[in-house]
A and B are shown apart, each in its own frame.
Chain A
Amino acid sequence: MSKYNMHILVCGGTGCLSSQSNLIVENLERYIKEANMENQVQVLKTGCFGFCEKGPIVKILPDNTFYVQVKPEDVEELVKEHVIKGRRVDRLLYQDPTTSEHVEDSKHMDFYKKQQRVALRNCGFIDPDNIEEYIARDGYAALGMALSMSTQEVIDEVKKSGLRGRGGGGFPTGLKWEFASKNAADQKYVVCNADEGDPGAFMDRSILEGDPHSIVEAMAICGYAIGATKGLVYIRAEYPLAVNRLQTAIRSAREYGLLGKNILGTDFEFDIEIKFGAGAFVCGEETALIHSMEGMRGEPTTKPPFPAASGYWGKPTNVNNVETLANIPVIFLKGADWFASIGTEKSKGTKVFALAGKINNVGLIEVPMGTTLREVIYDIGGGIKDGKKFKAVQTGGPSGGCLTEEDLDTPIDFDNLIAKGSMMGSGGMIVMDEDDCMPAVAKFYLEFTEEESCGKCTPCRIGTKRLSEILSKIVSGKGTEEDLEILKELSQVIRDTALCGLGQTAPNPVLSTLNKFEDEYIAHVREKRCPAGQCSALLQYKITDKCIGCTACARVCPVNAITGAVKAKHTIDQEKCIKCGACMEKCKFKAIVKE
């Protein structure tokens, strides 16, 4: 066994690294060696602790001491006091902000664990292909409990939990179940919407890959509640692993009698079939999804009728998103009250976010509703990459909007995000820094929706195309002030007139960036300048006085745009320059700048 009796964990996350955690490690090793204890104490670099606000973090095992904001010069004292003498260094301990007391044992400091795993409870902890591992963690017990309740009691429990749809709309799940349950029919359907299309969001895939039985169980509970015997999972064919795991899960559930006839000895019958989608974004919209499952063109239709009244093949159908369903078993296991105790007044439970963009800890996180953006970006996400300045975060994917510095302390929930001009969406969170040009960001999203528009209604089919054309003009320096006017006018009309949610929300990235960064748009249009320095069409390469006339740039320029005598300052002919950047890369004297 281990020869060490003490481990010192030093955070090697990007945030802590930038505050010299490397030096801390060096110093630790030096002082431990000086004390001749290198055979007893091991120093380890770790990944991010998710507490970057208080970094660098040093944690000492086995006594669980958690030191915060440790500086390299603190190390000597730390080794001499804690390692050698076994005395805690109080001034470096975390101070509880409410009690002002120093917290010694990190076991008592759960408050730094900003994440709470409910939907992702089993992801990464069990073998998804093994039903017994799921059962060992109370799997299918919720179904058993539900089957001993009346259908109305089941619906009431979900209503009481306050669970709202995690796919984007945020519609109360219990209410949705109730609508479907009240529409009498010879056949009803439970549909799991696994058509995750939001660029950058992949929580549904992760749940299906990591915990497929939670979806199978939740669908069966829903089937019991609304009176459906058939479940369908609409999943994109680009998720082969998720499909595979789900198929295995369905097969094992059947073997164990948890799907099929007489489930758990009751009269309840339920089975699940998988339907493949071809990956159209709009097929995440429930009416389009249903049409696609019926073998028709994936196009939305006007609501009403809602699927709860007339869905799959005209029968009452309840459509829930994967993450929504993943919460269902927990609500029964731990009680609706427990679930409702997490989150904000109108948004209960947790939400999974896919953190991406210019952030250090790219990944999948789950936080209670009401967590602030600041906590998500800095304490969990580890802050902005390369120490750059935070500029904005896009939530809600292409249907959402951007939030800025002033919104960082807003508790995240359905209603707050809408009030701030964005939306929850399916939980994509793309972080942007000072180098990101906002009109270019809007253009990126509009190109996505333009591509993904089904083409049914005019505002979306032609409108998003026009929006993206105007944005292209603007970022290439060809935009006019009239274009800005049209951009605003058209965005508003598309929002008011498009047929489905995809179209209605398509202009959001334009409207929100226009709202918060109008000056950037104006700079592009009036001054033909990109303040973020991203739009290459608006940039110029220039040679500064640092040039010594080595001619390297002139030789590398593919279009012979650079001229100048040897040992004299060179110049770039802007007419000829194609902005490839080769000269800048070649210049050893940093004499070429982009502005």
Chain B
Amino acid sequence: MAENIKLEYIVPGDDFTRAGEASSEVKSMLKKLGLSSSVVRKVAIAMYEGEINMVIHGGGGKINVEISPEKVDMILADQGPGIPNIDLAMQEGWSTAPDEVRNLGFGAGMGLPNMKKYSDEMKIESQVGKGTTVYMTVLVS
């Protein structure tokens, strides 16, 4: 990899069926680049959970991914309602997802904890009424 690879995806907020397309593309690319299967899976799951959250809670948004020989950085930014209490949102089982989201198989309150579990570094910035940005890094080596 001569230069870092930079990718940008717009995640539509109103189309649940398309949620995950960006994560799927990134997963395919990481596999083609020959990264280890454990790194590929960590990135895929962390990003997919974030992408689903953007659609469920954030009204869509933008994902930037930067792949370098040392790490994969992901920035997921939405302009949704924001998270009033990040500590609470990080607790397993805590969810504000409505019933229709649970009927689709999500909203168990595992998304953010799972993103933390599968990334090596994670930071959340959120402002109520303005949106949420999640920074995640998965180390390659």
Are chains A and B native binding partners rather than an unrelated pairing?
no
Q: B interface vs A, CB < 8 Å?
A: none
